[in-house]
Amino acid sequence: MTDQSIVRPEPRRHPLLWPVLAALLVISWSSGFVGIRYASEGASVILVLFWRTLLSGLILLPFALTIGPRMHLRSVLGQMLFGVMSVFLYLGGFALAIEQRVPTGLVALISDLLPLAIACLSQPLLGERLTLRQWLGTTIAVVGVLLVSLESLSFGQAPLWAYGLTAGSMLIFALASVLYRRRRDEHMPVHQSLCIQTLTGSALFSFCAFMQGNMIPPMTIDFAIGMTWLVLIATFTAYSVYYTSLRLFPVAQVSAAIYLSPPVTMLWAWALFSEPLTATMFVGLAVTMVGVWMTSRA
């Protein structure tokens, strides 16, 4: 028996599957800004993250326990590790950096360089080698992100470790994404894994909120709108589409779509909060779209 006789070909996927998933990913990923903008009006960022992860986990819990295969301890512990990395350290690191007065524009810029870090990690850890065209597309997309972020970029007066924390948080999520792709044969359904990850994050964020002296959410309409937005769109939709895409497509291709998050975020800010749009932002959007198309093209 030859090796070819036991190799199963990759299943054919509909040509529109990736464009649809990419559009959902960009829209939901960039919408986190909207939820944070509403919810943080009367609450600290840590308190927002605590209630975001707690509500997400509790909503998913009955479905995780009753729908899908039985969860084993080894798989649960693995998902808890991903929860520490991709929920607590990633989101919490950016929150702490902002509280230490790292400018929000700089935090957003560093977080939006996530696909570049994933592209660099995917070759040594996954063996997914990017072509010259994909590296060129990545470079063009980074230039587009810089153009979009240019007018809101400043360096501030935060302590040096806070800037390192921002970059470290992004790198941790990049590593978690690559490891998640590497363990794709051991995946549990998304609703189960996301439930475990968010509940793990909420347990850790609860300790941080307790140390700050406040775990009670403000009873305001803005906080309720923000929580609804963060749970349904920025958590359920964004993470579910992201993890599903990682199972089906190369990790560098999936992460490249995130380059479009900054220009789409500026459209959210313009539509909902009347923030101005500039010619530089539109140039950055066009450049980023070219880079993403080059990187993601089959």
Residue 281, in any domain of the structure: no
Residue 294, in any domain of the structure: no
Smallest Cα–Cα separation from 289: which of 257, 267, 266? 257
Residue 276, in any domain of the structure: no
Phi, psi of 188 (to 5 degrees): -95, 165
Domain of 215, in residue numbers: 28-138+154-255
Specify the number of domains making up the chain.
1
Q: Give residue for tokens 């993601």.
A: 296
Q: Can you give the pLDDT at residue 116? A: 80
* pTM for this prediction: 0.80
Give the tens place of pLDDT for each residue, 112-132: 778 888 878 877 777 777 778
CA distance 196 to 13: 29
Residue 172, in any domain of the structure: yes
Residue 233, in any domain of the structure: yes
Residue bearing the bigger pLDDT, 80 or 126:
80
Residue 165, in any domain of the structure: yes
Answer whether 88's CB lies under 8 Å from 204's CB: yes
Q: Can you give the pLDDT at residue 107? A: 73
Instruction: Say which DSSP state 231 is in.
Output: I
Residue 33, in any domain of the structure: yes
